[in-house]
Amino acid sequence: MAKEKPPILIIDDEADMQETLRSILKKDYAPQTAASGEEGLSKLRSGNFDLILLDIRMPRKDGLAVLAEIKELESSLPVIMVTASKDIKSAVEAMKLGAEDFISKPFEVIELLAIVEKALQKRQLEIENRALKEILAESEAYGDLIGKSPKISKIKELIKQIAPTDSTVLITGESGTGKEIAAKALHKISPRKNKPFIAINCAAIPENLLESELFGHERGAFTGAMERRLGKFELADQGTIFLDEIGCMSPAMQSKLLRVLEDQIIERVGGTSPIQVDVRVISATNIDFKKHISEGKFREDLYYRLNVIPVQMPPMRERKEDLPLFISYFLEKYNKDLNKKIKGLDPAAQALLSAYDFPGNVRELKNIIERAVALGRGEFIAEENLLGLSISPDPAVSTVLNLKDACDEFERNYVRGALKAAGGNQSKAAQILGVARTTLSSKIEALGV
């Protein structure tokens, strides 16, 4: 669905000026007009606008009085004052009252469009900053579990429901979807939040050492065991242990873990005394458990013991609504880490990211933004800073294509991405693609976009 054009309200008592401004703006924006301050305020109360163009000299209620009421209704809404050359003093007064800018009659079309675009860009930046503040506030509760899309909102609601319990949780999902982040969020809002959160990657530790890592060992238990060592379960006592890549655990270790889950009792390697522990277990994997169980690689009884409460993390391609939040979050992080002042992405870079499927999910996006911030030289990340990205073809299209069809399919997807980033506006999409608008129109028709 094409993004709607930014709505702009024109408040001017002169019908000719209303029509002039409307004609100039209607190509890229959605202008509405009001013939008086009272009518303008009424429309503002009943609708949403991104910008207001306000005449200073109007009968009954002048522009300064209307401006004051606009700021009471919505203080962050940008207002551009339209003045006669002799009203410069009033325009300066309007700036003091909170107007974003002013333009004097008669004005050049290019000058007006530049002022409007600048004001709207500033408003968008402020909206993104507010979104970032919301992310930071939310992180106090959910850590780095970012997003407001329907799927991630359900995950957060589920985490909120199960946090007070001690039930085991199995988090599944593709690599890079944030399974450990979800586990940390669950721990952070649970009654165990002030106790340890211990994470261990079962796939990263050799099988002969994993038992010692989990349960600890006594001195002399094996060659090199020079002293007693506490395992992760003891270190996590009264807290939470996160067992990542649980599907890689050997059958022997699976049997020992099952006993710990059932009895909350461990024994150190080389030890003879059982040790009682109080630990909540959260595990994660990206394997197909049904396949592993049918092949005898994973114990079915352990699977059911781990999977008391399942949590399925959605891939990035299914939560594209969260992309702007992630971009803002990672820009803030890497600006700070790398001592940069990147404000955002330019339209071409935004179009490319919007059309990308992120096979590596959130982890890949994080790395993309870090690299782009490191390589970026200006205020905005450019398309060339997004190294190695290519837009995935439509899965509905056969992968067996001749060269011409393959080129057309790539071009078709690329044009779609630019149109999406431009909110369906062909002029802006043409600027993103670096072609004339007529060229883009021809491409759209030829490619069947």
Please check the confidence at residue 81 and state whether its pLDDT lies above 90: yes
Residue 135's pLDDT band, with cuts at 50, 70 and 90, is low
Are the C-beta atoms of residues 105 and 82 closer than 8 Å to each other?
A: yes
| Whether residues 383 and 337 fall in one domain | yes
On the question of pLDDT at 408 being above 70, the answer is: no
pLDDT score, position 351: 84
Q: How far is CA 108 from CA 15, 18, 24, 105, in A?
A: 19, 16, 11, 9
At residue 400 the predicted structure's pLDDT band, cuts being 50, 70 and 90, is very low
Confidence at 261, pLDDT banded by 50, 70, 90: very high
Per-residue confidence band for 260, with pLDDT thresholds at 50, 70 and 90? very high
Q: What percent of the chain has pLDDT over 90?
A: 56
CATH number of the CATH domain containing 228: 3.40.50.300
pLDDT at 215 over 90: yes
Confidence of residue 392 (pLDDT cuts 50, 70, 90): very low
CA angle at residue 409 from 407 to 412, to 5 degrees? 110
Q: pLDDT at position 395, please?
A: 41
Domain match, 226 and 284 both: yes
Q: Domain of 35? A: 7-130
Amino acid (one-letter) located at 48: N
Look at residue 382 in the predicted model and tell me its pLDDT: 87
286 in the same domain as 161? yes
Q: Are residues 300 and 152 in the same domain?
A: yes
Q: What are phi and psi of 413, to 5 degrees?
A: -65, -35
Q: Establish if 138 belongs to a structural domain.
A: no
Q: Residue 20 maps to which CATH number?
A: 3.40.50.2300
Q: Phi and psi dihedrals of 428, rounded to 5?
A: -65, -40
Please list, in sequence order, all residues whose beta carbon lies within 8 angstroms of the beta carbon of residue 30, skipping any fewer than 6 positions away.
4, 5, 6, 7, 8
3-class DSSP state for residue 217? strand
> Which ranges of 271-345 would DSSP assign to H, the alpha helix?
289-294, 300-306, 323-338
**Pair of tokens at residue 96:** 């003091």
Q: Does any domain span residue 139?
A: no
Question: Which of 36-40, 59-63, 85-89 is least confident?
Answer: 85-89
Q: How confident is the model at residue 140 (pLDDT cuts 50, 70, 90)?
A: low
Q: Is residue 369 part of a domain?
A: yes
Q: What Cα–Cα distance (Å) separates residue 51 from each residue in 66, 85, 101?
A: 14, 22, 11
Q: Where a domain ends, among 130, 155, 176?
A: 130
Average predicted confidence (pLDDT) for the chain:
86
What confidence tier does 388 reach under pLDDT thresholds 50, 70, 90? low
- Domain end position, chosen among 104, 130, 156: 130
**Is residue 135 assigned to a domain?**
no
Task: Give the CA dihedral 72, 73, 75, 76, nearest 10 degrees.
Answer: -170
194 shares its domain with 324? no
Report residue 1's pLDDT band, with 50, 70 and 90 as the boundaries.
Answer: very low
Shared domain for 294 and 348, answered yes or no, is: no
Q: Which structure tokens are listed for 367?
A: 């790395």
Dihedral class, residue 108 (left if φ above 0, else alpha if ψ from -120 to 50, else beta): beta
pLDDT beyond 90 at 132: no
Is 335 within 8 Å of 292 (Cβ atoms)?
Answer: no
Better-predicted residue by pLDDT, 19 or 125: 19
Number of domain units in the chain:
3
**Does residue 257 sit in the same domain as residue 190?**
yes
Can you tell me the mean pLDDT for 339-362?
88
Phi-psi region of 60 (alpha: psi -120 to 50; beta: other; left: phi over 0): left
Identify the pLDDT of residue 435: 66
How do residues 217-250 score in pLDDT, each as one tens digit? 998 888 888 888 899 999 999 999 999 999 999 9
Over residues 96-119, the mean pLDDT reads 91
Per-residue model confidence (pLDDT) at position 136 = 57
Q: Please check whether residues 161 and 108 belong to one and the same domain.
A: no
| Span 243-266, average pLDDT | 93
Residue 260 token pair: 């710990």
Residue 406: predicted pLDDT:
54
Specify whether the CB–CB gap between 210 and 396 falls below 8 A.
no
Name the CA dihedral angle for 432, 438, 441, 446, rounded to a multiple of 10 degrees.
-110
Supply the pLDDT for residue 45: 92
